[in-house]
Structure 1
Amino acid sequence: MKFGTIASGSSGNCLYAGNEDTHILIDAGISCKRICEGLKTFELEGKDIQGILITHEHTDHICGLGVLSRKFHIPIYGTDKTLHQISEMENLGKIDRELFQPIEAGREFLIGSLSVASFSISHDAVDPVSYLVQDGGRKLGMVTDLGYYDEAIVERLKDSHLLYVEANHDIHMLQAGPYPYYLKRRILSERGHLCNEMAAQLVTELVNERLDQVILGHLSKENNYPDLALTTVKNEVGDSVKVEVAPRDHAGHLFDLAL
């Protein structure tokens, strides 16, 4: 199995996971054109994608969904509430309801040869989830857009070989920054986003002998710096695991989770 980020940040998110015969996206929060350009760097095309997993209905996770799904007729996976919310959003254009594939948080399902499971998270959306993807004993754990984590989330993510984890903001930058008070409160709330320190604590709880790589994602452009997020996490985990930050505006490395 391979994993790569096409875009990562508060202005747009799109991730890729796949193997030789199955290719999926997690979210489509940038334009169809940019998604296809990112896939091209992985030697793939839009027509290769067999499913799009949606975490929640916020614009930075779905703005390219309408065009992408219409152009390539790609099935869209999400919870009932999330899919209903998406179907009501006029700015996405008309999406064929037959493409909607309802899922239930906590239940596993297959897309091609990939096993996928979702789990609930705390965010200010109708029914937000994150995803696990497994292939031949290799496990990819992803979690962003959550105000806090608990033991249930740690249990879900444990024994991952690669982790993609939110490090959205530095608390001091956010508090001193230009955002209005209500937005600062939202981000800092239990339905907001993980700060660098909380990301570091989560990664520390998940370090194990199977974990090869940690990727920090969904960084705020206004309230964080890549080097700051990286330093905060590495100061906690030391040299026990490789850590890097996902690029914001272009595709990152394609990581190979092969045995």
Structure 2
Amino acid sequence: MKTDERLRFLSIGSGSSGNCYYFGDGQQGILIDAGIAARTIRKALRAIGTDFDHILGVFVSHDHVDHIKSVGTLGEGFHLPVYATTGTHHGIERSWGVTQKLNGSRRYLTAGESTTVGPFTMTPYPVSHDASDCVCFSIAYGKHKILVATDLGCANEAVSELIRQSTIVVLEANYDAAMLQKGPYPYYLKKRIVGDEGHLCNDETGRLLAENWHDDLTHVFLCHLSKDNNAPSLALQTVESCLREAGVTYGKGVRIEPLSRNLHSLIEFDD
């Protein structure tokens, strides 16, 4: 694979303040979610030498505002195709957070069915989260198989199987259970977060990875960390502890890393 075809990953935003992830190469790329301002996304893309005219599409996981804030601007203002399931598109249409509604930019996905844009093959799978129709994405690019699962209250068998198939995993580690329990959130919100349609805590993420770890897994990125109920060092420590307790061993070339809530460093993957 040529140098300008090497897969690159940029987390532009990760957390309840807004989510947006870029996967691409030296020529073209895709966005997963667009829950932050379009100008912020564009600034981040330009900083790595690309722009909206090199984006093949925006793939939306679900209709919560921290994932869809700027889909209208990207779709109708910059003419980027916006891919989502029928349920998520209906949710986007109803959302108070999307001021510019989608029209000609709307593209439809079906869970379990693949869509190919450029060198990327995207397959959505349902996950358990309290949105209209939440999905995770399995992405195939060259030899790389990527799982992006940003919001889920519990893992189904599809998520477990996708971890076992993937070389790169972007997986939620939203909260530390003790911090959430002791923190200031009202009871109803704590109940929602810990429920089966809420979010994964650090321990759940660690156990999920430990149960499905395999030798081809080279990169794990912990995403959607809570600002109030988690910390990057704590998420990493907890996940690594779960792996050790399960007897999982991995070499120095394996990277496990929590993603920043704001702009993250560009990561290039080996051919």
- TM-score interval for Structure 1 and Structure 2 normalised by the shorter chain: over 0.9
In the alignment, what sits opposite 1:94? 100
In the alignment, what sits opposite 2:207? 201
In the alignment, what sits opposite 1:190? 196
- Determine whether 1:234 maps to 2:240: yes
CA distance in 2, matches of 1:70, 1:156: 33
In the alignment, what sits opposite 1:257? 269
* TM-score, reference length from structure 2: 0.91
Q: CA RMSD in A?
A: 1.5
Pick from 27, 30, 47 the counterpart of residue 24 of structure 1: 30
TM-superposed deviation, 1:90: 4.7
CA distance in 1, matches of 2:255, 2:203: 17
TM-superposed deviation, 1:45: 1.1
TM-superposed deviation, 1:12: 0.9
Letter in 2 for 1:218: H
In the alignment, what sits opposite 1:127? 133
Equivalenced residue count is: 258
In the alignment, what sits opposite 2:222? 216
CA distance in 2, matches of 1:27, 1:91: 14
Letter in 2 for 1:98: G
- Cα deviation, 1:162-191, whole Å, max 9, x if unaligned, reads 111100000111111111110000000000
Is the contact made by 2:154 and 2:197 (CA closer than 8 Å) also made in structure 1?
yes
In the alignment, what sits opposite 1:225? 231
CA distance in 2, matches of 1:110, 1:129: 17
CA distance in 1, matches of 2:64, 2:48: 26
| Percent of aligned positions that are identical | 38
Is the contact made by 1:161 and 1:257 (CA closer than 8 Å) also made in structure 2?
no
What secondary structure sits across from 1:92 in the alignment? coil
Q: Which runs of 5+ in 2 are unaligned?
A: 1-6
Bigger shift: residues 112-121 or 82-91 = 82-91
- Determine whether 1:39 maps to 2:51: no
- Cα deviation, 1:14-45, whole Å, max 9, x if unaligned, reads 00112344310000011111111221232211
* TM-score, reference length from structure 1: 0.95
Bigger shift: residues 176-185 or 205-214 = 205-214
- Cα deviation, 1:204-258, whole Å, max 9, x if unaligned, reads 12321211111101000010011100100111225523211111112x2323334
- Determine whether 1:244 maps to 2:261: no
- Determine whether 1:9 maps to 2:15: yes
